[in-house]
Chains A and B, each alone.
Chain A
């Protein structure tokens, strides 16, 4: 499973980082980026799905 953040939608809510900090990190302005190439470790898939669902801007895409 892989995730990516659409930078034109991200509005720096930080909800993804709260839900799944191992996959989403925030820059100094609060905008999200994926760690590495966005591959989600198996043990964090539930948290990553929660991050996708909770993004207020629907800015995270997920490829199974």
Chain B
């Protein structure tokens, strides 16, 4: 799957914005504490109520769920203490590299967000939850540079082996408590009972970076870019058949066609399909390149923006065969805790493979459609939902009607 797993080489900002996260100063490597301070990081807050500012800003979580940040933060703040903040930088989606870019280049901006979050929810402990070695190195170096950490806050790192399920919020809490990095059934959710059974804010590191920026600049400045329901800028990981695969900061609301042209150097081969949400939003046909990159428009197109990773299939990549390989990844990544996930991901994998190979039974397309409709929400975590999205979108967006696909 070389087209899908292209190495991330580039980073930058969309020409229509002044970047907030992917600033030019950070392109060459990790920013030091002094360099970050010159940019204003750890600087004074513009408001004494960060959660109210997040609500005005309309910040939505960047781990894939797009849940309104202020609601999650407020729920933790309202729960009885002591409370915990977990900065989730595990980034288990295979096509996503934005959290890694942020942690490696701007660990202080993430730490600034962690400290502001801990103050806002009244946390006594903060844990940076990581998987990729380069991110661990960068965050450790950044912490070593700090003259002090906020009074009364215990700060530590927790490192796990990278996998998709390890990034799920209940898996993060379980791992930090010394258990396996595997999801558990909800409720209770971490905001009720997380690390050590305490109310826990599990926030994606990009969400925390935006929160730090909003804390200093305010909601109105944040909303200068983007649209009503997806305000601000976001990090995207653009990959596959484009000339400059990489991590880019873009305003919400531009079309995917524009993003690939404006920041990723255009396509390197005629595009055949888009893999959305790094891979949790399934597939979109290239006719959808005019869809706007924002949560609602992508959802209305029957997909999901998720963590913002979009991979173009093109060139030698036959979309149905690529879909089958992605389905195989889902089956392999199953934590094998939920029977329905073990069976469901295997069925989707086998059926897409048979369609790609031209050996599918006549029921294949109907089966995929049914699994796409009935399996979401059935597992303890979102893995099965991702496989279901793939099944649902593969039959809707790709040509599965050819004689090659289905054997009568």
Contacts and interface: CB of A to CB of B under 8 A. Distances in A.
Interface of A: 6-12, 27, 29, 31, 33
Given A7-B338, A9-B185, A29-B344, 20 more contacts: A6-B185, A7-B339, A7-B378, A7-B379, A8-B183, A8-B184, A8-B185, A8-B337, A10-B338, A10-B339, A12-B339, A27-B340, A27-B374, A27-B378, A29-B339, A29-B340, A31-B340, A31-B343, A33-B340, A33-B378
Nearest to A9: B185
A63 to B, nearest CB: 9
9 contacts: A6-B185, A7-B338, A7-B379, A7-B380, A8-B184, A8-B380, A11-B339, A27-B374, A31-B378
Contacts of A7: 185, 337-341, 378-380
Interface in B38-55: none
Interface in B173-210: 183-185
Interface string B346-383: 00000000000000000000000000001000111000
Interface string B318-343: 00000000000000000001111101
Contacts of A6: 185, 380
Interface residues of B, number: 14
A10 B340 contact: yes
Contacts, number: 36
A58 B187 CA distance: 16
Contacts of B339: 7, 10-12, 29, 31
A10 B45 CA distance: 49
Q: Which residue among B183, B339, B378 has the maximum number of chain A CB atoms within 10 Å of its CB? A: B339
Nearest to B184: A8
Nearest to A8: B337
B377 to A, nearest CB: 9
Contacts of A9: 185
A1 to B, nearest CB: 16
A10 B337 CA distance: 9
Closest 7 CB pairs of A and B: A7-B338, A8-B337, A6-B185, A29-B343, A31-B340, A8-B380, A8-B338
Task: Tell me the dominant secondary structure on chain B's binding face.
Answer: loop
A7 B385 CA distance: 13
Contacts of B344: 29
Contacts of A31: 339-340, 343, 378
Contacts of B378: 7, 27, 31, 33
Contacts of A12: 339
Contacts of A10: 338-340
A11 B339 CA distance: 7
Nearest to B340: A31
Contacts of B343: 29, 31
A24 B341 CA distance: 18
Nearest to A57: B339
A29 B347 CA distance: 10
A27 to B, nearest CB: 6
A11 B342 CA distance: 11
Nearest to A7: B338
Contacts of B184: 8
Nearest to A31: B340
Nearest to A10: B339
B227 to A, nearest CB: 32
Contacts of A29: 339-340, 343-344
A12 B344 CA distance: 13
A6 B187 CA distance: 10
A29 B185 CA distance: 20
A36 B380 CA distance: 17
A46 to B, nearest CB: 25
A9 to B, nearest CB: 8
A33 B378 CA distance: 8
Interface string B364-408: 000000000010001110000000000000000000000000000
Nearest to B374: A27
Contacts of B379: 7
A12 B338 CA distance: 10
B394 to A, nearest CB: 19
A9 B184 CA distance: 10
Interface in B149-192: 183-185
A28 B243 CA distance: 44
B376 to A, nearest CB: 12
A11 B380 CA distance: 14
